[in-house]
Amino acid sequence: MEEKDCILLQTLFEQQNLTKTAEILYVSQPSLSYRIQQLEKQFGITIMHRGRRGIEFTPQGEYLVKYAKDCMQQLQKVKEHLLSMDNKISGTLKIGTASSLGRYKLPGLLKNFHTEYPDVEFKVTSSRSSELVNSVYKQDVHIGFIRGDYNWPEEKHLIMTENIFIVSNKEVTLSELPALPRIIYKTDISLEAVFDNWWKETFSAPPTIMMEVDHMETCKEMVSSGFGYAILPNIVLGDNEYKYRIQLRTKHGEPILRKSWMIYRKDSLQITLIKAFVDFIKGLKLM
């Protein structure tokens, strides 16, 4: 099976649609259908069934897609090792990042790295930190930038420590919070656990949830509009935003901090590009 066949199968499996797959691969739909038929003859299987609702892969077809993905990963590793043999810093660096880091911190880092190594390209994907841990372990990405503390068995480097604040557009006190409207947002389980543990340690009554939104940035705007207060990490807050803010602290008065990490596989440092990027990040002061 050729490389283009592997790409075809992976794209078709992701799209579950012949027309969209043909458009993405810049081929005609008859050509795409013909190549699928040739693969079915080659392996003596039915890859998928066509119906009114689209296509459905057979168990044999799904296994072939997995094989194609494994082949592409192995081929990528071979290409990376070959590029590393002449010690030239080039190729494509695959990075997985938590969305907030991807929005507020990563662009500047990548710009500075690219200035130093202009032959490097980037493939960046955003995901929840819990999912990124698995992506780095499976080597779907080379480097992961995650937020919070997760059980990661390999290499990691602390890149940032930040404070967490209760923010409001008017003055509030801690004792008032249970009775005041609170805005919450979808986030990773590690940050939710921080909030929940702090609340249970501080109050006996549950919070008064007034609104739930999908992102931190949306939550911040709702706070600015006066819908209630929120608990937000400093990464989304400007230095002069929110005159009324209270730093989150333990019952002993210690600040509750949010940590961000760079994680990677130790054996990936054999690739010159990945080692150069890891060394670059380690050489920076904590953000």
150/264 same-domain check: yes
287 lies in a domain?
Answer: no
pLDDT confidence of residue 87: 67
Which tens digits make up the pLDDT trace of 211-269?
999 999 999 999 999 999 999 999 998 766 777 899 999 999 999 999 999 999 999 99
49 lies in a domain?
Answer: yes
Confidence label for 83 from pLDDT (cuts 50, 70 and 90): low
213/232 same-domain check: yes
User: Contact 170/244 with Cβ under 8 angstroms?
Assistant: yes
Q: What is the Cα–Cα distance from 40 to 90, expressed in whole angstroms?
A: 37
Which tens digits make up the pLDDT trace of 169-179?
999 999 999 99
Of 241, 236, 232, which is closest to residue 195 (Cα–Cα)? 232
93/156 same-domain check: yes
69/181 same-domain check: no
Of 54, 82, 110, which closes a domain? 82
Parent domain of 277: 87-160+259-282
Encode burial over 132-155: b for 16+ CB neighbours within 10 A, e otherwise.
bbebbeeeebbbbbbbbebebeeb
Of 82, 108, 141, which closes a domain? 82
193 lies in a domain?
Answer: yes
26 lies in a domain?
Answer: yes
CA separation, residue 44 to residues 2, 37, 41 (Å): 17, 10, 5
- 0.85 surpassed by pTM: no
Which tens digits make up the pLDDT trace of 45-69?
999 998 777 788 999 999 999 999 8
What mean pLDDT is predicted for residues 263-276? 92
19/52 same-domain check: yes
3-state helix, strand, coil in the chain (%, to 5): 45, 25, 30
166/239 same-domain check: yes
Confidence label for 279 from pLDDT (cuts 50, 70 and 90): very high
CATH number of the domain that 180 lies in? 3.40.190.290
* pLDDT: which is higher, 113 or 238: 113
Confidence label for 157 from pLDDT (cuts 50, 70 and 90): very high
205 lies in a domain?
Answer: yes
263/247 same-domain check: no
151/273 same-domain check: yes
CATH number of the domain that 104 lies in? 3.40.190.10
150/183 same-domain check: no
pLDDT confidence of residue 226: 93
Q: What is the Cα–Cα distance from 231 to 199, expressed in whole angstroms?
A: 11
What residue type is 51 in one-letter code? G
Of 166, 174, 169, 181, which is closest to residue 226 (Cα–Cα)? 169
By percentage, how much of the chain surpasses pLDDT 90? Answer: 68
pLDDT confidence of residue 287: 53
Of 12, 277, 4, 11, which is closest to residue 145 (Cα–Cα)? 277
34 lies in a domain?
Answer: yes
Number of domains in the chain: 3
98/24 same-domain check: no
66 lies in a domain?
Answer: yes
153/267 same-domain check: yes
Of 82, 107, 137, which closes a domain? 82
By percentage, how much of the chain surpasses pLDDT 70? Answer: 96
44 lies in a domain?
Answer: yes
Q: In the predicted model, what is the mean pLDDT of the chain?
A: 90
193/142 same-domain check: no
Which tens digits make up the pLDDT trace of 184-204?
999 888 899 999 999 999 999
